[in-house]
Structures are given as structure tokens and as C-alpha cells.
Amino acid sequence: MSLRYQINVRILLSSLCILLLGGSIAVWQARQAVNEEIDASVNMAAQLIRLGFSQTLFNEAEWLKRINSLKETRHLEIQLQAPSGQVLSVTQKEMGKSDVERPPQWFIALVGGKHSKTEQPIITADGKQFTLLIRANPLDEITEVWGESVAFFISLSVLTLLTFLAVHLAFDKALKSIAIIVNALENIEKGDYRQKLPEFSTLEYDSIAKAINHMTDELNKAQQENRALAQHSLEIQEDERQRLAQELHDELGQSLTAIKVMAATAAHQKADIRQTTEAIVSISNHLMSVVRSMMHQLHPLVLTELGLKAAIEDLLSHWSARHPELHLSLDCSDQVDGLNQKITIQIFRVVQECLTNIVRHAEASEASIAIRIDHEPEARLRLEVRDNGRGCEDGNLKAGFGLLGMRERIQSLGGEFSIDTELQQGMRVAASIPLANLRRSD
């Protein structure tokens, strides 16, 4: 069931309830007005006639003339009855109505009610006694009330129709805005982040549009960064393969060729076996050193064999040997060795990237690394790398693939990554990773 249909049904039901309630109130008020008007007319006519007859001496012909003068009295039928029961005169206003003007019978029944006959004794100045009969005839008043009620219902119906149209137009405009927003969200779902929602005249929809536009901007920015990072990763991968292939060709290929030549030379009777053996051993040691260096670059074995803490200590020792002017310190809990290898390799790579950036760009004299596990309110691994280098401005942070790579590594573990830096104030890299379901299984 669509929203438009639900709104129309509710408006229609509300309008019918308003009409029924208004009709009931109108009928009740009309009935009260008719009763009050009829009662007032009967009482007023009786008092006037009684007062006029009792204070003046006149004959019966003058009585008839005066009674006939009451023909303009509304809602009443007046009769003058002698003591013998004979009706001397009857005055009645012509109240016949055509079928067009006459109210419906159901309305007359609802509003008219029952009105009793009123009898008033009249004694003239010369002592004669008559009976004044006054009967109510509310048809004229009911006709007026019917006209007012019809006008009221027409006005109420017009107002209801105008309200319905106004609400319909307002919701039609709102539903069109919703359709535009839904269409934009469908395009966003398909990966089209360049589409922008227009400005809406309605404040609420305009706020939604601005929020969606801001979201698409951020998604588009993240998509561009991910594409750039993926391209950079592919380039690094190709460079690494090229470098490994070059080392395999230059180091392993040449060394193996030399070993092969020496082995062939050793087969001759005049060959110096001892010298050849020493040369082969030396070349083999060099090959072992090259292979060990390549294996360390691809994946640190100490990380798998001894754990994260030992791997980072070995990494710091390596950088300290190459850059003795840089003082490196480590504060690492022994509990990190119990973590899942999935998280340890990512933490190791982040620390490795941080140290590389410090050595290459920071021009720092000191750097510290802190790794600890907090258990309150939940188990989380917290990493912090600080240096006292030159720092950088915020605009340069987003341009580096190293920082983007670190952010992606931490976020891939469901963690939070942040960087705080100011020019000439050093840099602080912090990460917080939840450890639920990430601990190493026994």
C-alpha cells in the first residue's frame, strides 16, 4: 500500500468524520433554535393579544379586525373561540411552500419536534370571556434553518475539499522529492558518486539532500583513494617482482654459474681441490646471505617463530644499526605474542612503515613505539608511534600512499586509525583495534 493511498484514505475518513460531527451539531443547534423561536413567538403573541383586548372597549367587529391584523405573525395559527365553542375568527399566515423550497421530511422530523397548543382566556372590559387558541407552525422557521444548514454544509464541504487539495498538493510535492532522493540513492548503490541532489525548498528535504551530497563526496573521495592505492600497490608489486628477478639473475644466477664452473674445474687432475672447495663454500655463504635477506624482505621469519615483540625489536635493531643518530625506544607488552597472526603481521607492517617515514622524512632524533593491550571496557590493542621530527601540514597527509596503506591495514581489522601532527612539532600515529575473535586459537 503506497503512502499516497494511505494519506488519501485517512484524509477522506477524517473529512467524513468532520462532516458527520458538524452535521450532528448543526441539527442539534437548529432544533434548539426552532424551539426557542417558537416558544418566544407564542408567548409574545399571547401577551400582546391579552393586553390589547383587556384594556380597550370595542365590539366584536373591531375584535375581528384586530385579530386579522396579526396575519404577519410568524410561525403561529391564532383562533378566537367564544364560550359556546364557535370560532369567531382565524388568522393564519400563508405558509405553504413549494416542493423546491420545502425542506426534506427527514429534516423536518429531526428539527421540528412536537409543539403543544396554547389556550389563553381573554376577558374584555365589559366582562365577556373568550378563549384565544395559539398553535405553533414551525415550518417557516425550519425552512430558514434548512437554508442555513445547507449553506453551512456547502461551506464545510468546500473547506474540506480545499483542505484535501492543499494536503494532496503538499504531499504530492513531498513524494516527488522523495522519488528524486530514492533515484539518487539507487544511482549511488550502483557506484555513481558524481550525481548531486538539487536544492529543495523544503528545509527537511534540503537537509537530507545536503547530507547525501556530502556522503557521495566522501564516497567518491574514498573510491579515488582506493583506486590510487590499488594502483600504487600493483606498481609496488611489479617493482618488487622486478627487483627480485634482478637479484635472482645477478646474485643467484652468477653464483650458481661460478659454482658450476668450479665443480667442472675440480674434475681435472691438475685442479687445486682445496682452493676450489674454499671458493665454492664462500660463494655458498654469499648465496645463503642473499636468500636470507630476500626472505626477510618478503616476510620476517622471526615474526612467525618468536612473535610480534621480538620481530619489532629486531626491526628496531636493524634501523638503529643503519642510523645510529636516531634514538629508538620500544614499550611493548608480552601479551602481544598471543595475538592472531592476521593482526600481528598488520601491526608489524604499520610499525615498519612508520619507521621508514621517520627515517626518510621526519628528520627526527627520537622516536618511541608503544604497544599494549587494554581490557576495559573491552579488549583492544593500542599502538602509538611518536617522533620529534619536523611534522607536516594536514594537507600533505592524505597525499602519501604509505599513510593510506596504514589506514587501510588498521581499518581492515575493524580498528580506528588517527594521525596528529603539526609543523615542527613531530607526529603521532595511533591505532586501536578490537581483539574480539582475533586472538590466536590454542
pLDDT (0 to 100) of residue 67:
59
pLDDT (0 to 100) of residue 48:
64
Percent of the chain with pLDDT over 90: 8
Structural domains present in the chain? 3-93+100-169 (3.30.450), 302-442 (3.30.565.10)
In this predicted structure, the answer to whether residue 353 has a pLDDT above a threshold of 50 is yes
Mark 244-272 as b/e (b = at least 16 C-beta within 10 Å).
eeebeeebeeebeeebeebeeeeeeeeee
What's the pTM value of the predicted model, to 2 decimals?
Answer: 0.50
pLDDT (0 to 100) of residue 328:
92
Q: Nearest Cα to 335, choosing from 301, 373, 368?
A: 373
256-308 confidence digits (pLDDT tens): 888 888 888 777 767 778 888 888 888 888 888 888 777 777 777 778 788 88
| Number of CB atoms found within 10 A of residue 347's CB | 24
Percent of the chain with pLDDT over 70: 78
In this predicted structure, the answer to whether residue 309 has a pLDDT above a threshold of 80 is yes
173-204 confidence digits (pLDDT tens): 888 888 888 888 888 888 787 778 888 888 88
Give the residue-averaged pLDDT of 29-57: 66
Of the candidate ranges 194-203, 244-253, 422-431, the one whose mean pLDDT is the lowest: 244-253
Cell of 179: 522519488
Which of 59 and 223 is assigned the larger pLDDT? 223
Instruction: Round the CA-based radius of gyration of the chain to a whole number and report it.
Output: 53
In this predicted structure, the answer to whether residue 230 has a pLDDT above a threshold of 80 is no
Sign of CA dihedral 70, 48, 34, 146: positive
Q: DSSP letters of 332-348?
A: E-GGGGGB-HHHHHHHH
378-420 confidence digits (pLDDT tens): 888 999 999 998 887 665 565 566 787 888 888 888 889 998 8
What gap in Å lies between CA 309 and CA 317, rounded to an integer? 12
Angle in degrees, CA 235, 287, 289, rounded to 5:
75
325-348 confidence digits (pLDDT tens): 999 999 998 888 888 888 888 899
